[in-house]
Amino acid sequence: MQWFAVRKQLRARPRLVLGILSFVLPVLLWSLVSYVPWLWHPKVEITATGDVSYFKSGMLIDREVFVKEEAKIAEAGGTLPQGRPANPIYLPAPHQVAQAFYTAFTTEPKRRNEKWLHESLWSSIQVIFWGFLLSSLFGVPLGILAGTYDLFSRLTEPFVEFFRYLPAPAFGALAVAILGIYQAPKIAIIFIGTFFQQVLIIANTTRKLDASLLEAAQTLGAKNLALLFRVVVPGILPDLYKDMRILLGWAWTYLIVAELIGTSSGITWFITQQARYKNFDNVFAAIMMIGIIGLTIDILLAWLGRNLFPWQRVAARS
């Protein structure tokens, strides 16, 4: 088989295997660093303190410090401290993170007013949902209008073009001042981060619709609104759907910044809180959960898209 054929698809089997490998390889690298003692492991975990006064059992110490103390004690002729190579606390091993995927959900919050992980996740999903929905409610129609009528294009796009360079988090303080400290300013940040890109991308997608379809429709008697709703909208629907999937991905990337605004909430609150307690296994698990939720939603949407637009299955059999 040709592994390096330019712009040729490999066969189904190898493609699947490679796809799985793309996840396995990073995990493998991580496992090597975690489980092979002579790879990296810049710290020493103390198992027996010996005669070093400030060592405690289970303590993580820089290797150089340990070696120096060991040498000092050896010179003085005392009991040597014992230790084993360890990684810094911020790099938990894969099995610890895997465990955290379960324990993070079952660990009771430390204070009564704090939320369980599933509540935090649900709060994050709601922020994304409302931010993206509000943005789409305005962004999609405006994008389609701008892509169809030059009037709307000129009236909106120059300003949108300017506004999209303003980083959404820059509006954090303003959003809090106007909308308070709870969910509303977070939704606003997702909205600002999504909306302006959305208008431009959808306007562009709309403009890419084959103009001859519009001409054909006109010679068949379609006018004004019929052109818009019977030709433009159905014509761009599959591409619009793809755009929305990409934009939803962007919305997720704004989540962490958004949730830091006002009172920290959702998965971001969980991550910062766990980092404060030095539960880095939980931190890793939470970060991965964002990726897993995002990817799962995208795969579901992709699958749904294939069934929504049957005319898009272009001669895949050939």
Site residues for another protein per CB under 8 A: 210, 212-213, 215-223, 226, 230-231, 234-235, 237, 309-311, 313-315
The beta strands (E) that lie in 216-280 are given as none
Residues 200 and 292: their CA atoms lie apart, in Å, by 28
Nearer of residues 213 and 293 to another protein, judged by Cβ: 213
Pairing of strands 60-62, 43-48: antiparallel
The helix or strand, by DSSP H or E, that contains position 86, with its residue range, turns out to be strand 82-86
Nearer of residues 85 and 305 to another protein, judged by Cβ: 305
End-to-end CA distance of the chain: 20
CB of 222 to another protein, least distance (A): 5
Nearer of residues 58 and 221 to another protein, judged by Cβ: 221
CB of 240 to another protein, least distance (A): 12
CB of 210 to another protein, least distance (A): 8
The helix or strand, by DSSP H or E, that contains position 130, with its residue range, turns out to be helix 117-148
Q: Say whether 15 sits in a helix, a strand or coil.
A: helix
Q: Say whether 206 sits in a helix, a strand or coil.
A: helix
Nearer of residues 207 and 313 to another protein, judged by Cβ: 313
CB of 158 to another protein, least distance (A): 23
- What count of other Cβ atoms lies within 10 Å of the Cβ of residue 313? 10
Nearer of residues 93 and 217 to another protein, judged by Cβ: 217
CB of 125 to another protein, least distance (A): 32
**Cβ-contact 218, 227 below 8 angstroms:** yes
